[in-house]
Amino acid sequence: MKISIVSLALVSIFLFACKKDNSGGNTPPPPPPPVVDTALVNFVAATGITDATLKTNLDSLITRAKRHGWWSLCKVIYPMAGGTATSCKYNLKDPSDADASFRLTFNGGTWTYTNAAANPGATGYAYTYFNPAVQIADTNSCHLSIYSANDVAGGSDNADIGAYDDSTHLGFYLSARDTWPDSSGKPFVEMSQSSFQGSSVNGSGFFLLSKTSATTATLYRGASVENADSSMVAGALPNLNLFLCNQNFTGSAEPYANGFSQRGLSFVTIGSGISPDMEALMYADITAFVENK
């Protein structure tokens, strides 16, 4: 009987210890909440975007852009997402409702907005409030990029983004399809006092104009080089705010009648020079975003 009582006591102690262990402090803590990038938080708050898939896509875009290095080279990123004038107007790098943050103002009365793009129609254009002469410190390291949603001929001297000062002959603009200086419809770009054409006639897709040295600029379409100029004039950029879907052209009354691109825009960036290796990454990242809006 004595042995049985001792045995029962030991079993009771063991069971109590197990119960205490199961309900005590050895339970692992819950996992930490996922880290949300403040750039995404601020942009979603400004734009009013609620779609979960789009927010995930934006988060992936921001992560890739930072990991691949082109995020820091952009002063302006317009994702043109959400399908409204409000959601399309904000700069992802600084989504404040202010000219100094390069928030877009849509002009012309023919704009429409979808989940895929902001579409200017026949006479739509937009202010970026971005002055390259003021905002780009090194004029030998600069870029413009657009992702055009469709292949439309546009005006005879149209631009998807840019400005041209007729008195100083300083330009900074990109047209995915232009009939200037000939009727070919090839891409046309202007930087400082130099200009050149691309090679293909198709105004849709990703285009990037990049200058990475005093004398060399390259125009890309997708991951391929459209053309390059190694005899560029080193010099200033126009002291004018850039327009979207037209060019801020001082040789004509605003808006420039021949400057309307009429092409929808799915993505736009402005900033420092982009190297060839960086361009390939940038193109892949932006295309992944655009194709999954």
Tens of pLDDT, residue by residue over 86-104, are: 999 999 999 999 999 999 9
pLDDT tens digit string along 88-145?
999 999 999 999 999 999 999 999 999 999 999 999 999 999 999 999 999 999 999 9
Is 153 within a domain?
yes
Q: Is the pLDDT of residue 250 over 70?
A: yes
143 found inside a domain: yes
> Is the pLDDT assigned to residue 208 strictly greater than 90?
yes
Residue 156 pLDDT > 80: yes
Query: Is 69 within the bounds of a domain?
Result: yes
Please report the pLDDT score of residue 19 as a whole number: 43
pLDDT of the residue at 29: 66
pLDDT in tens, 19-36: 444 444 567 766 655 667
Closest by CA to 157, choosing from 139, 182, 130, is 182
The whole-number pLDDT of residue 30 equals: 66
Alpha-carbon distances of 175 from 112, 188, 205, 220, 290, rounded to whole Å: 20, 5, 12, 12, 20
DSSP states along 43-95: HHHHH----HHHHHHHHHHHHHHHHHT-STTEEEEE---SSSHHHHS--TT--
Residue 156: give its domain's CATH number: 2.60.120.200
The answer to whether residue 3 is domain-embedded is: no
User: What is the domain count for the chain?
Assistant: 1
Span 56-69, pLDDT tens digits: 999 999 999 999 99
pLDDT at 118: 98
What integer is the mean pLDDT of 155-169? Answer: 98
Residue 222 located in a structural domain: yes
pLDDT of residue 12: 46
Domain range enclosing 235: 50-290
Query: Is the residue at 92 inside a domain?
Result: yes
Task: Please tell me which residue, 190 or 33, carries the higher pLDDT value.
Answer: 190
Mean pLDDT of the chain: 91
- Is residue 12, in this structure, part of any structural domain at all? no
10, part of any domain: no
